[in-house]
Structure 1
Amino acid sequence: MPLFSFHRPPAAPGEPSVAASAPNGPRRWGRWGRWVGAALIVAGLHWSAMRWIEHAKQPANQPPEQKPPVQVELLTPKPVAPPAPVKPAEPAHVARPAPPKAAPAPAPVQQLAAPEPVLSAATPQPGEPAAASGVAASGAGAASASAPTAAAAAAPAAPAAPASGDKFSVPPTGDLRYDTLVNGVMNQTGTIHWTNDGQHYEMVVSIPLPFVGPYVYSSKGHIDAFGIAPEQYSEKRGRRAADVAVFNRETKQIVYTRTPNSQPLADGAQDRFSVVMQLTSLVRGAPDVYKPGVTRQFSVADNDSSEIWPMETVGDETVQTRDGFVAARHFTRLPRREGDRRKLDIWLAPSLGWLPARILQTEPSGMQVEMLWAGKLQAASAAENNAPGTPDASEETAPAADDASVRP
Structure 2
Amino acid sequence: MQSTSLRIIVVALFISILGHLILFFGIPFLSFGSPPEIADDLIIRTELKLEPPKKIQMAKAPKKKVSIDNSANKVEDSKGLATAEQGGTGNQQGVAFKLPESGIIYYDAYVDGQKYQTGEIDWIVDGNNYRLHINIPYAFVGPFVFESRGTIDAYGMAPSIYWTQRGTKPPRYSRFDRDASGGGKMYFSEKPEFTPDLLPGTQDRFSLMFQFASLLNGDSKIDEAGYIRALPVVDYNTLEMWQFKSYGETVSEDIPSLGKSVNRRYALMQRENDPYKRQVDIWLAKDLDWLPGRIRSREANGRVLELIFIQKNPLPAGTKP
TM-score using structure 1 length: 0.57
Query: Per-residue displacement from partner, 1:186-236 (whole Å, max 9, x unpaired)?
Result: 110000011111311000011011111100000001111000100000011
Letter in 2 for 1:252: G
> For 1:360, which of 270, 289, 296 is the aligned residue?
296
Corresponding residue for residue 246 of structure 1: 175
Corresponding residue for residue 189 of structure 2: 257
SS state at 2:217 partner: helix
Query: Per-residue displacement from partner, 1:83-108 (whole Å, max 9, x unpaired)?
Result: 69xxxxxxxxxxxxxxxxxxxxxxxx
SS state at 1:81 partner: strand
Structure 2: how far apart are the matches of 1:83 and 1:349? 19
Match status 1:338 vs 2:274: yes
Identity %: 32
Corresponding residue for residue 299 of structure 1: 232
More strand by share: 2
Structure 1: how far apart are the matches of 2:169 and 2:158? 27
Match status 1:376 vs 2:312: yes
SS state at 2:214 partner: helix
Structure 1: how far apart are the matches of 2:257 and 2:38? 23
Structure 2: how far apart are the matches of 1:406 and 1:75? 37
SS state at 2:148 partner: strand
SS state at 2:210 partner: helix
Match status 1:274 vs 2:207: yes
Corresponding residue for residue 41 of structure 2: 68
Structure 2: how far apart are the matches of 1:327 and 1:406? 30
Residues 373, 262 of structure 1: alpha-carbon distance in 2 compared, 3 angstrom cutoff? same
Corresponding residue for residue 196 of structure 1: 125
Letter in 2 for 1:164: Q
Superposition CA RMSD, Å = 3.1
Corresponding residue for residue 13 of structure 2: none
Structure 1: how far apart are the matches of 2:225 and 2:277? 23
Return 5+ residue gaps in structure 1 as ranges. Answer: 1-44, 54-62, 85-160, 380-402
Runs of 4+ in 1 over 6 A off after TM superposition: 70-73, 403-408
Corresponding residue for residue 86 of structure 2: none
CA radius of gyration, larger in: 1
Equivalent residues of 2:42, 2:267 under 8 A apart: no
Return 5+ residue gaps in structure 2 as ranges. Answer: 1-18, 27-35, 61-89
Moved more, 278-287 or 223-232: 278-287
Letter in 2 for 1:178: Y
Q: Which structure is richer in relative contact order (CA contacts within 8 A, separation 6 or more)?
A: 2
Residues 166, 404 of structure 1: alpha-carbon distance in 2 compared, 3 angstrom cutoff? farther
Query: Per-residue displacement from partner, 1:328-379 (whole Å, max 9, x unpaired)?
Result: 1110010145232411000011111111110001100010000000102338
Equivalent residues of 2:126, 2:320 under 8 A apart: no
Match status 1:78 vs 2:54: yes
Equivalent residues of 2:43, 2:269 under 8 A apart: no
Equivalent residues of 1:168, 1:286 under 8 A apart: yes
Letter in 1 for 2:155: F
Structure 2: how far apart are the matches of 1:318 and 1:229? 32
SS state at 1:364 partner: coil
Equivalent residues of 2:59, 2:218 under 8 A apart: no
Letter in 1 for 2:113: G
Structure 1: how far apart are the matches of 2:121 and 2:144? 12
Equivalent residues of 2:225, 2:246 under 8 A apart: yes
Structure 2: how far apart are the matches of 1:70 and 1:365? 19
Corresponding residue for residue 219 of structure 2: 286
Letter in 2 for 1:248: D
More helix by share: 1
Structure 1: how far apart are the matches of 2:263 and 2:37? 13
Deviation at 1:70, TM superposition (A): 9.4
Corresponding residue for residue 107 of structure 2: 178
Equivalent residues of 2:150, 2:160 under 8 A apart: yes
Corresponding residue for residue 209 of structure 1: 138
Alignment of 1:214-225 (within 5 A): 214-225=143-154
Structure 1: how far apart are the matches of 2:220 and 2:50? 16
TM-score using structure 2 length: 0.71
Equivalent residues of 2:147, 2:164 under 8 A apart: yes
SS state at 1:278 partner: helix
SS state at 1:240 partner: coil
Structure 2: how far apart are the matches of 1:255 and 1:238? 23
Corresponding residue for residue 327 of structure 1: 262
